[in-house]
Amino acid sequence: MIVPEKFSLNNHKCWICGYRKLDVEKKMSPRYLCFWCSPSEEGEEQLTPELLINDLILEAGEHLRNGNLIRCEDIDVLSLIADIGDLGGRHPHFKQFTSMIGLIAVQVVLEKSYTPRKLLKVAEGATLNEKWKRVCQCIFFLTDVSLLEHGEGRYIQDRFRPSNLLLELTSSIESVSKVEEELPPRIANCIAGYALLYGIKTSIEWLKKDGQGEPTGIIRLYPRNSHGKIWIPKRFTATTMYLMGHLAHGYDEFSENELRAWLSNRGITGNDASWIINWLNRTIPSAHRLVNPRFDGITYHFSFNINYIRMRERVRERIRGRSR
Ligand SMILES: [Zn+2]
């Protein structure tokens, strides 16, 4: 097992969405997040992106435990996390990890265990050593998000074995569809989206505790060099936080111009920003159901899926109920 390299953070930006802080903001808490990803709590009834994500993970986890993965098209929360998985699977860096998650899930369906060596075939890297590092990153990450768990034994497949959640969610696939090499795309996206969104939640918690020790969650998957310098795969993380934040703050619509301005504060411009717009409006073909696009002749306007808005309202109600 390769020991993860030293890790260094600075307070110049948000380590989830990549927002570049103004000098005055650098001194504010939380040091490693922005006010979008971690707004100061103005009363417990306020729905923040973090609370929304936490609730979605809880609800999705219950459905996955109850064998509902196979119905991910009909269950709003599973459909939403499958949309996030679709976005993750199209990112040049995250794609390898969503492929690894798919390979692990297929093996667990068929054999109730997995072989880390098999993941090398989708890992990126010029050398075997680099590829193996990516595989280990993924295994640690899946342990953070409760799809693998620590076990006994000398070998990596024994030390990190499938969790009950992974065994339960894969057993629902086994009973319905015939799995050979790959999972049906929407199901694979649902598992990957669950892991990635859970990873964001875990990293936000870690960053709020001042980023001490080895990172947990999605930050484990960020690309880094041997000096500990890391890059944020913003096209995935920033887009996800924009959507979750907008939904959490109660907005049902947004325009291309609003999104571009927000992305530009995070250093996402040009082709990367256009790619995001084209994914949202499905010029890049996608089965996501996040938003409905409307073109006014000049720019796009997006309205959230009405089912997702209703789901947001249910989360709000639950949070109000808890704080009463
Ligand atoms: Zn942020």
96 in the same domain as 172: yes
Q: Partners of 214 in the beta sheet?
A: none
Could you read off the pLDDT of 176-225 as tens digits, one per residue? 556 667 889 999 999 999 999 999 999 999 999 988 888 999 999 999 87
| Enclosing H/E stretch for 86 | helix 76-89
Contact 69, 187 (CB under 8 A): yes
- The type of residue at 193 is G
Cα-to-centroid distance, 34 and ligand 1 (Å):
4
246 in the same domain as 166: no
Cα-to-centroid distance, 33 and ligand 1 (Å):
5
- The CATH number for 302's domain is 1.10.10
For the chain, give the number of residues: 324
Q: Which residues surround ligand 1, an ion (CB under 5 A)?
A: 14, 16-17, 19, 34, 36-37
Q: Is residue 20 part of a domain?
A: no
Q: Is residue 145 part of a domain?
A: yes
Cα-to-centroid distance, 14 and ligand 1 (Å):
5
229 in the same domain as 99: no
235 in the same domain as 135: no
Q: Is residue 38 part of a domain?
A: no
Q: Is residue 87 part of a domain?
A: yes
Boundary of a domain, candidates 164, 186, 218: 218
281 to 78, 217, 234: CA distances (angstroms): 21, 29, 19
Boundary of a domain, candidates 161, 185, 218: 218
Q: Is residue 26 part of a domain?
A: no
Cα-to-centroid distance, 318 and ligand 1 (Å):
25
Q: Which domain holds residue 291?
A: 224-313
Per-residue pLDDT tens digits of the chain, which is 324 residues long = 444 455 678 889 999 999 999 999 888 888 999 999 988 766 667 899 999 999 999 999 999 999 999 889 999 999 999 999 999 999 999 999 999 999 999 999 988 889 999 999 999 999 999 999 999 999 999 999 999 999 888 777 678 999 999 999 998 887 655 666 788 999 999 999 999 999 999 999 999 998 888 899 999 999 987 777 889 999 999 999 999 999 999 999 999 999 999 999 999 999 999 999 999 999 999 999 999 999 999 999 999 999 999 999 999 998 888 776
171 in the same domain as 239: no
Angle at 147 (CA atoms; ends 143, 151), nearest 5 degrees:
60
Contacts made by residues 18-21, CB under 8 angstroms, sequence distance 24+: 18/232, 18/234, 18/237, 18/238, 18/266, 18/267, 18/268, 19/265, 19/266, 20/265, 20/266, 20/267
Residue 37's Cβ-side half-sphere holds a number of Cα atoms within 13 Å equal to: 29
pTM of the model: 0.94
Cα-to-centroid distance, 295 and ligand 1 (Å):
28
Q: What is the mean pLDDT of the chain?
A: 91
Q: Is residue 8 part of a domain?
A: no
Q: Is residue 56 part of a domain?
A: yes
144 in the same domain as 283: no
The answer for residues whose C-beta is within 8 angstroms of residue 288's C-beta and 6 or more apart is 82, 83, 86, 87, 279, 282
The Cα–Cα gap between 188 and 33 comes to 30
101 in the same domain as 249: no
Domain count, the chain: 2
Boundary of a domain, candidates 193, 218, 243: 218
237 in the same domain as 115: no
233 in the same domain as 203: no
Q: Is residue 133 part of a domain?
A: yes
228 in the same domain as 206: no
139 in the same domain as 234: no
Cα-to-centroid distance, 242 and ligand 1 (Å):
9
150 in the same domain as 55: yes
